[in-house]
Every structure is written in C-alpha cells, then in structure tokens.
Structure 1
Amino acid sequence: MQTIEIDRIDTRLLEILQSQGRISNLELAEAIRLSPAQTLRRHRRLEELGVIRCYEARLETQALGFGAVAFIQVTMERGHIRDLAKFKSMVAELAEIQECFAVTGDIDYMLKVVTRDLKALSEFLLDTLMRIPGVSGVKSSVCLDELKCSSAVPLAT
C-alpha cells in the first residue's frame, strides 16, 4: 500500500476521530476550524483513500464475561504453504481470535485470543487451534493485566 500525503488539517481530523469516533461532523468541523462541508469532504476523502479503514465500538471484555486474554504463538509445519489458505480462512472465522499477525523469527503467527475463562481457552487451544491443518505447535501466554490497549496511530510523531 502506498503512503498517502496528508496535511496538518487531515492529521488533526484523524487524531480527533481516533479518540472520538462518534463525534458529529459539526463538532469535528468546529474542532479543526473548517466549515462542515469542507470537513465532510476531507473525512470522505480519507475514507475513500482507505486511510480510515473502519469504525467500531471497543467493548469491555470483562464486563461481558470474557475473563481470559492470551497471546498465542503459532508454529506451522515445514512447507505449510499448502495449508496457508485454510489457516487464514479458519483464523478469519474464529471469533475468539481478535488479532493475528504473521511474524518473523522462530514462530509463524502471533494471535490475540479472548475467551470466557481459562477452561474455555484450553478447549480453544486443544480442540480448535491445534486441529487446524498445518499447525504444528502453539505456545500461549495468559494476560494478567491490561496496561494499555489502543489502536490509535501516533500521528503527531
């Protein structure tokens, strides 16, 4: 993906949207000191360019009864390329997996997984993740405390 040039007004608009995703166009226009029409045009342009990927509500997992968060390292079998499409498809379908990254080093993928409790996490690992074709091993680290959770991009740096 190519880097998109944005000016200081676009940067300010994005900073505000990252922290206040439900802000109205009028409030956003006032904050960046543009007319509502100009603000809406800039906002839509950033969406069309793919700079703004999506809007979502960030839910409090504990309040909803999801008490286990784990980071799971997945190692694939040698020559796993034949199973790659199946792995990607399964990862996309599994609601427990919040994030998945292909990484360098001794492991192939890093997952962030959320489940109701440790028993559910164990069942997910043994009955689901380890049964995906091509997966040869997993290592999990259970999260003890969340110190920071953000998807904000450091635009000001």
Structure 2
Amino acid sequence: MEQTIKVRAANLTELDWVDGQYDKVGFKRSTGTNELIAIVEVNNVPVGLGRLQHIEPSVAEMGGIYVDENYRGLGLAAKVVEYLITHSTQYTVLYCLPFSPLAHFYNGFGFKSAENLQDIPKPIYEKYLWCNQTYNDEVLLCVLNK
C-alpha cells in the first residue's frame, strides 16, 4: 500500500500533541508563539515534527526535529527540515543545535559549524550550553546563512 506523506503547519489546538512528542525525548516544550511548528503525517496520522523559533529580526533557530521510531527510515525528518527551510523566507540566518551524530544530515542542507561564538545571539548560545549540560550526547552549534 502506498503511503501518503504530507508536511503542514501545526495549529494551536495541536500543542498538547506537540509537547507530548517533545516530552518523550526531553526536548523543550513549545511556546505556541513566535514559532512555526511543522508536522509530518503519514496517511493523515501525525508521526513527526520540527520547529522554527524566532530569535531576533532575520534570525531563527530550527530544532525539535523528531520522528516516531515506528516511522523512521522514510526520510520524514528531511521533509520536515526542507519544509522549515522553505518557510523561513523572513530569516537570513538559521541556527541549529543537532546531536553530533546528526552533523552530516544537517550539513546536507547547508548547515555548517558556527565559527565565531561572539557573533551568536545570546539565546542561541545559552540554549547550546543548556543542551550540552542536559543531554548525554554532544550537541553542536550549526548555522545556515541564506
């Protein structure tokens, strides 16, 4: 049976589901404001998500990419990242804080290791430090200049 895959923007009535997914993996919950949450569906069932959070004019953080383990291997995370990049037209700089084993995945979308830490917006740098204190896996600080 052929599967129908669709990525769409979440609506505020779905925040409980969104936060439930993030709670499963220890990611920060969504605020529902100043962010675009993308949901990927397989046969109209939500199975993954990601978000773009406004940091400051022209700067956003892409993160919270998560796909239910029963649906991995279908390229769904890539579809979420593509959706978020496509819908980030008001931003010239995107930051991402991936776990180190995912560096190659994000490099494929043009993300590079951030070089000048003094240029990093304070909220991004503080989250980077928090992530490396919170998670067992190393978290990288990557940037995409559009």
| TM-score of the alignment, normalized to the shorter chain, above 0.5 | no
Structure showing greater radius of gyration is: 1
What TM-score does the superposition give when structure 2 sets the normalisation length?
Answer: 0.29
User: Higher helix fraction: Structure 1 or Structure 2?
Assistant: 1
What TM-score does the superposition give when structure 1 sets the normalisation length?
Answer: 0.27
Q: Which has the higher contact order (CA 8 A, sep 6+)?
A: 1
User: Higher strand fraction: Structure 1 or Structure 2?
Assistant: 2
